[in-house]
Amino acid sequence: MAPPLGSVLRSRNFLFLSFAGAMSQLGDRLSHMLLITIIGLSAPGKLLAYAGGSLTFVLPTLLLSPIAGVLVDHWDKRKTIARTHFIQTAILALTPIAIILTRSFTPFWVALALFFGLDIFNNTANPALLPNLITRDQLLAANSVSLFFSRIATVLGMVIGGFLIKWVGWQNGIWIDSTCHLIAGMLVLNIALKKDSPLETPGQTGIAGKQLPSLIGNAFVQFFRELAEVTHLVFINRLVAFVLASIIISTFISSVAYTILIYLIQQVLGMGTAGVGIFAGVLAIGMIGGALGMGFVPKDINRAKIVVAVIFAYGLLFLIGQWLITLWFMVVVALIAGVAFSWLGIVQNTILQEEVDAGIRGRIFSTREFITNATFLGTTLFIGTLGDLTSYRIALVVIGASLTLLGLAGWFLVSGSKFQVTSAEN
């Protein structure tokens, strides 16, 4: 074991934060599996129901992402994470009781919107707290270990979570989800910080003395100022514009997976939520394989061509998919989709990191997250409506044909003499 990794694993505070993050991820994945289960129970046969379900985790993120970072910087991060988990625990624990009393699933959707809205504070405070627990030269190893634990929890939550809900029922599933966040909060409270730590003392980030309304107002102003700077960059750098356009398209592909593909697995093939979990595991295997495979690709390969080739491949899969809605084909789709999505994400990030100056790099990635969530919300509603007004087969043909044509057009674009992209030196 490499010395930096060993020293990180001996850090008591770091392990508590990493295990808390893993438990949080496990709970979050269970929440998504519960969401899919409730949709199948309350709105069978409705594609638009999946689009409506996405509102519960996308809309709160869109509304709170501009201010979450400012508030987390102003608050005690350890207490913020713990209190957020405890509030999430209470919300989830009371939800089954509210459903029984109202004889409606409405409390579930309200609870999930509150839950995911709070989650952005966890997702912001956790990585912000991590540098306070280790030394600077341990950061890379610490992030690797933390991500490793998180990915294990994600796979367990998606794969085992589907079967767990099937075995114990959705009510007990919600309480198990609640318990995951209770454990996460208790783990965070075991982190022992030095009282004189300047990085963890609220008010040391340049915002001391400001009132909460002022902090929120300034956060929104700063966010939209950064969005304007990114928009200006798009107009002057065609490669950045190309990547951001491809991110919108890849988000559209994710929307297809969330609406139509989950619907096919859960309801058309009759595999239920457990089946969705299995296919999520197959997708994860493809993503891991794709990430490893990209390491063997020559560094001077034309990265833009990889992007358009992946989009074209997705188009073909959706186009022929209407005639091959079978178990074996869905497994093939999940594997190929996992590999392709890893390639797409790696290449998109690499091009942005190479093309964007360090001074604006953080802003363009944060803006990308905002654009991704906004696009996901709009496209899931469009796809769900299209599928319900026509049929999922027609929706697959329309989507597949559109992506195929975009892939072909993109190939001719990036093959032009003025659009040759390989490595940072080109």
- Tens digits of residue pLDDT in 91-111: 999 999 999 999 888 899 999
Q: Using the structure block, give the residue that is written with the tokens 């609870």.
A: 111
Q: What is the pTM of this model?
A: 0.66
**Phi, psi for residue 216 in degrees, rounded to 5:** -65, -45
pLDDT tops 80 at residue 178: yes
d(C-alpha 233, C-alpha 239), whole Å: 10
User: Which segment of 7-11, 82-86, 178-182, 361-365 scores lowest on mean pLDDT?
Assistant: 361-365
pLDDT greater at residue 176 or residue 51: 176
The overall average pLDDT reported for the chain is: 77
The span from the CA of 118 to the CA of 91, in Å, is: 11
Give the Å distances, CA to CA, from 19 to 16, 84, 101, 185: 5, 16, 35, 10
Q: Is 356 strand, coil or helix?
A: coil
pLDDT digits (tens, 9 = 90+) for 58-83: 788 778 777 776 677 778 888 999 99
Lowest mean pLDDT among 33-37, 91-95, 219-223, 336-340: 219-223
> What is the signed CA dihedral for 396, 44, 36, 166, rounded to 10 degrees?
-120
Over range 31-54, report the average pLDDT. Answer: 76
Which pLDDT band holds residue 2 (cuts at 50, 70, 90)?
very low
pLDDT, residue 89, reads: 96
Separation of first and last alpha carbons in the chain: 38
Q: What CATH number was assigned to the domain covering residues 1-209? A: 1.20.1250.20
CATH 1.20.1250.20 domain range(s) in the chain: 1-209, 233-426
Distance CA 307, CA 351 (A): 11
CA distances to 26, 157, 226, 273 from 164, rounded to whole Å, are 12, 9, 43, 10
Q: Out of 3.40.50.150, 1.20.1250.20, 3.40.50.300, 3.40.50.970, select the CATH number for domain 233-426.
A: 1.20.1250.20
Q: Is the pLDDT of residue 31 over 80?
A: yes
